[in-house]
Structure 1
Amino acid sequence: MDDLTPSDFRALTRALKHCVLLHDAHTFEILWANPAACELLGRPLDELKPLKAPDMSKNARQYSRELGHRWLGQAVEHGVSATEWCYRAKNGEEILTEAIAIRVELATRTAVMVQFRDIAEEKAVRQDLRRTESRLRAFLSGLAEGIVVLDDTHRVLFASESAVRLLGRGLDGADFAAYCCDGPVPEREGRYRFAAPGREPSWYAATCQHIEIESDLRGRMLLFYDITDRVREEEQHRRDTQHVDHLARYNAMGDMAMAIAHEVSQPLAAAYNFVEGARGRLDRDTGSRDESVAWGLDNAVRQIERARRILGSLRAYVGRLEQFARPTDLNAIVRDCAYFIGLRAREHQVDVDFDLTTEPLPVLCEHVLIGQVVMNLAFNAVDEMARCPRPERRVEIVTRRAEDGCAELAVRDRGHSPPPDERIFDGVFTAKANGSGIGLALSHRILTRHGGRIDVQANEPRGAVFRFALPAARHPQDPTRTELS
């Protein structure tokens, strides 16, 4: 470069697009300006030289003479200093610039060379970008939908704030397969269950598409939003529909029950008369009386009487329950059922223990219907224990006064634990091979119509406890007590 002449340097200086001002390092007066600076500021060099900082800077505190001198002084002291400075042109236009001051040792003095360029448009673009970015962040953070971008190995390359809110922190860089509760990572639109490891899963509607943003972001974008409430509503609607269908069948069963009760009552009356006649002849012929035959006839009469009471109660149940409810002792109901429970237990070689309170447990109820509930629960327990080894076959039937004053009965077995299904009393549950599941539903229906409640819990160490409670009667009567068979 030694062959360049002073005229060449002058040509190079005139060609500069950056503006240059040369200040004295001590007085900070303008010594020289290149053509680009003169053009931007709208003044020739002879007009620029006598100007001071307030004459050519924006009238604002951050562009005061003191701050301008401090900036130039830092360049003198440290060799270089940069700042953002707003110049004011001759026509009053304010020009925001990026300026850098550099100390220069000239042959005759020390000077400060200031290079600056107009950045108003560039800064406006940056502000627009920041504004757009902040808006996008606000939109993304307020979205109900979560967005994740996955690479070919299902690693999360990007996760929106809404995705983090839905699935928890730790998404960035995580294997999204660990969040999928029903199989592989979704590849098409559908419903899926997502959850962070160890958290309760929720239902999401998800869509997938491939994205490629230059070389910055490339992969499968998964957009998903929570539809758990919708799925639950649909499931509840399905259950309600099933329940309505069940109630329709249940009402049809009521009509059939009334017809059956009417038709069966006459043969039962005839059978009762025949048995009574046979027993009368047997009593008259005392010389040839066979006690085993007499025992069989007595039991047949008891069974027929029981069937007649059930049919009568069935008519009452299908009609109005309140007309037939009366004060009775829950223990007396259990004692009446003990005979039939014993027959079922002996058939399956199951031991039944009765633990009844010594004092009466008066309740207002329909005697036969509550007896049906007692026998249904007891029969279920006996049938359950029939599948167990003989030494373990034991069922307990217990009555107690509950803390809220209700009369309570519990049937305990040592078989399988009850299922964790809240619909066990909806008429859709049965553990028997040929069961219909209607027994528990009917028991629940009977008890709720009586203002009672029924539930099931696990027995310890195994088995189930079915327990029901009935409100205590206000004016009980003492029913005749019978001994357990």
Structure 2
Amino acid sequence: MSPFEPADSALLFAAIDHCVLVHDAQTKNILWANPAACTALGFTLDELIPLKAPDMSSGARPYRREIGLAWLQRAVDEGVSTVEWCYRSKDGHDIWSEARAVRVDLARGPVVMVQFRDIAEEKATRRDLSRTEGRLQAFLRNLDEGIVVLDDGGRVLFASESAGNLLGREPAALSAADFAAFLAPDSAAVLQELLATSGRGGQPTDARYRLSVSGAQDTLDRWFAVRCQYIDIQHDLRGLLLLFHDITATVRAEEEHRRDAQYLNHLARYNAMGDMAMAIAHEVSQPISAAHNFVAGVRSRLDRDGSAGPQLNWGLDAATRQLDRAAQILQSLRAYVVRLEQSQQRVDLNDIIADCAYFIDVRARQHAVSLRWERTDDPLPVHCEKVLIGQVVMNLAFNAIEEMSRWRAEERSVEIRTGRHGDFAEVCVVDTGKGLSDLHVDRIFDGAFSSKGNGHGIGLALSHRIITRHGGEIEAADNTRRGATFRLRLPLADTDQQ
């Protein structure tokens, strides 16, 4: 026994939110409409019944009467047919709808029941989503940054096209792959630690990974900077999100900087030892010469008195030979130290400054000193050994930074600028420290001066030697208000030479 009376079924049917039209299966005339359809179309039931397709459909070609009749006939023949249809209300408003026609065999004969609902907002949303998806896909394809999501075991749940490009694999090939297998052993260990420690609500973590290229040389390995964070997107995508980009060039540049720094330190020690050796040779050569004269004087007096015996003569000869040997050693040492290998090349002084900027910036950050760079746009071609000139620039900059580190934080500033000064290329390092007024300015570059309690001043002496060997000049002067300016100048290369 049915729990509903026939009248109850009619009330339930009328309460449906979906619009319902009932057409005769043969003539396709409207037989009935529920209240929702009447409300949406703006017609009463009596007004709807005599209407034809052109009276209640859009006038656009896809919604012509013959197309609508064919759609209803498909429902009669096949039992069901669904289309997107544009109805038109009594006031001329278009109603975009998804319409489903179903054949229903009633006692009176077959009819076609059409159910439709307004999908205008859905269509607009789908258009927006499609447009947004297209843009996102375009962005993801052209990103320099790869995106992957890993499960707790480190397997890939999602990979963007850019991730595939960076890893040299198709995104589909990354799916379910063990991400650690793409990494070098040391980087794989870092990843495993992140997987073990990353959790919900944790802060993003930065790391560096090295990609292990099978069969390739170390020089072809690639480095990635990675930002990691745990994500949970509506329980649909949950895991460790990795955003990574290629920093191979940066890592290699850092390695070159480290090698250059080691080389510069080596050169600095070598040249410092040379300066000290020159000083020692100069000082020792005088007492050797004096001793040689004393031996010659003693021999002359003994010969005059006739008191020199064989053993005494042998001792004097041996002493003379040893003094000659010591003089020869000092002469060889001096000749070796003075000799400078000719490794000069044509280079723009601005490029040398750019190479040094990294190290200077690091030192400035360590001492919380702000830097101001003013580099001329004019080319500054010079012939020099660029590593040595770079050493001089860094020495001057480091001295200025160390001086300013003693001042209050808001006063810590160093300016480095380049420019032309006549036929010279010039670099100026300007600080606002205590200046040079109470110092022996004329001895700053001779190796005897140092304002540091534990220093020996060899840095400025070495700088002076390097610049003068290149045919340039280096000087220091007080600023008008406060502080000091150190200038180095190198002869400009002939611009006609290539």
- TM-score for the superposition, normalised by structure 1: 0.53
Deviation digits for residues 50-81 of structure 1 (CA, Å, limit 9, x no counterpart): 22212111121211112111111211211111
CA contact (8 A) 1:168 1:196 kept: no
1:106 corresponding residue in structure 2: 106
Residue identity (%):
56
1:180 corresponding residue in structure 2: 183
CA contact (8 A) 1:258 1:314 kept: no
Distance 2:268 2:74 in 1: 93
* Distance of aligned partners of 1:320 and 1:164 in 2 relative to their CA distance in 1, 3 Å threshold: closer
Q: Does 1:214 align with 2:234?
A: yes
Which aligned pairs between 1:41-440 and structure 2 lie closer than 5 A? 41-169=41-169, 170-181=173-184, 182=186, 183-185=189-191, 187=194, 189-195=205-211, 198=214, 200-259=220-279, 310=332, 313-314=335-336, 317-318=339-340
* Distance of aligned partners of 1:12 and 1:311 in 2 relative to their CA distance in 1, 3 Å threshold: closer
1:395 corresponding residue in structure 2: none
* Distance of aligned partners of 1:36 and 1:45 in 2 relative to their CA distance in 1, 3 Å threshold: same
CA contact (8 A) 2:41 2:90 kept: yes
2:30 counterpart letter in structure 1: I
Distance 2:105 2:268 in 1: 104
1:468 corresponding residue in structure 2: none
Q: CA deviation at 1:93?
A: 1.1
CA contact (8 A) 1:151 1:157 kept: yes
RMSD: 4.1
Larger deviation: 91-100 or 102-111?
102-111
Give the SS at the match of 2:176. Answer: coil
Give the SS at the match of 1:173. Answer: coil
Distance 1:196 1:162 in 2: 18
1:105 counterpart letter in structure 2: D
Q: CA deviation at 1:220?
A: 2.1
Q: CA deviation at 1:44?
A: 1.0
* Distance of aligned partners of 1:165 and 1:315 in 2 relative to their CA distance in 1, 3 Å threshold: closer
1:442 corresponding residue in structure 2: none
2:178 counterpart letter in structure 1: D
Distance 1:126 1:315 in 2: 80
CA contact (8 A) 2:278 2:334 kept: no
Give the SS at the match of 2:174. Answer: coil
1:164 counterpart letter in structure 2: G
* Distance of aligned partners of 1:114 and 1:205 in 2 relative to their CA distance in 1, 3 Å threshold: same
2:455 corresponding residue in structure 1: none
Distance 1:320 1:93 in 2: 88
CA contact (8 A) 1:103 1:112 kept: yes
2:249 counterpart letter in structure 1: D
Distance 2:165 2:341 in 1: 56
Larger radius of gyration: 1
2:12 corresponding residue in structure 1: 12
Give the SS at the match of 2:152. Answer: coil
1:317 counterpart letter in structure 2: R
Distance 2:55 2:154 in 1: 62
Q: CA deviation at 1:310?
A: 4.6
Q: Does 1:38 align with 2:42?
A: no
* Distance of aligned partners of 1:315 and 1:173 in 2 relative to their CA distance in 1, 3 Å threshold: closer
* Distance of aligned partners of 1:35 and 1:190 in 2 relative to their CA distance in 1, 3 Å threshold: closer
CA contact (8 A) 1:154 1:177 kept: yes
Distance 2:21 2:114 in 1: 5
Q: CA deviation at 1:95?
A: 0.8
2:211 counterpart letter in structure 1: A
* Distance of aligned partners of 1:304 and 1:141 in 2 relative to their CA distance in 1, 3 Å threshold: same
Q: CA deviation at 1:15?
A: 1.9
Deviation digits for residues 369-399 of structure 1 (CA, Å, limit 9, x no counterpart): xxxxxxxxxxxxxxxxxxxxxxxxxxxxxxx
Q: CA deviation at 1:142?
A: 3.7
CA contact (8 A) 2:207 2:227 kept: no
Q: CA deviation at 1:172?
A: 1.8
Distance 2:235 2:119 in 1: 28
Q: CA deviation at 1:104?
A: 2.5
Deviation digits for residues 186-210 of structure 1 (CA, Å, limit 9, x no counterpart): 5273442232551643222223222
Give the SS at the match of 1:147. Answer: strand
1:314 counterpart letter in structure 2: Y
Give the SS at the match of 2:339. Answer: helix
Distance 2:81 2:37 in 1: 19
* Distance of aligned partners of 1:13 and 1:318 in 2 relative to their CA distance in 1, 3 Å threshold: closer
1:232 counterpart letter in structure 2: R
Give the SS at the match of 1:157. Answer: strand
Give the SS at the match of 1:229. Answer: helix
Unaligned runs of 5+ in 1: 275-299, 322-448, 450-485
Give the SS at the match of 1:27. Answer: coil
Distance 2:213 2:33 in 1: 68
1:167 counterpart letter in structure 2: L
* Distance of aligned partners of 1:92 and 1:307 in 2 relative to their CA distance in 1, 3 Å threshold: same
Deviation digits for residues 68-114 of structure 1 (CA, Å, limit 9, x no counterpart): 11111211211111111110000111111111111223334432221
1:120 counterpart letter in structure 2: A
Which aligned pairs between 1:21-36 and structure 2 lie closer than 5 A? 21-36=21-36
1:252 counterpart letter in structure 2: A
* Distance of aligned partners of 1:4 and 1:214 in 2 relative to their CA distance in 1, 3 Å threshold: closer
CA contact (8 A) 2:63 2:85 kept: yes
* Distance of aligned partners of 1:110 and 1:255 in 2 relative to their CA distance in 1, 3 Å threshold: same
Distance 1:121 1:109 in 2: 37
Distance 1:32 1:229 in 2: 74
CA contact (8 A) 1:146 1:166 kept: yes
Distance 1:94 1:164 in 2: 46
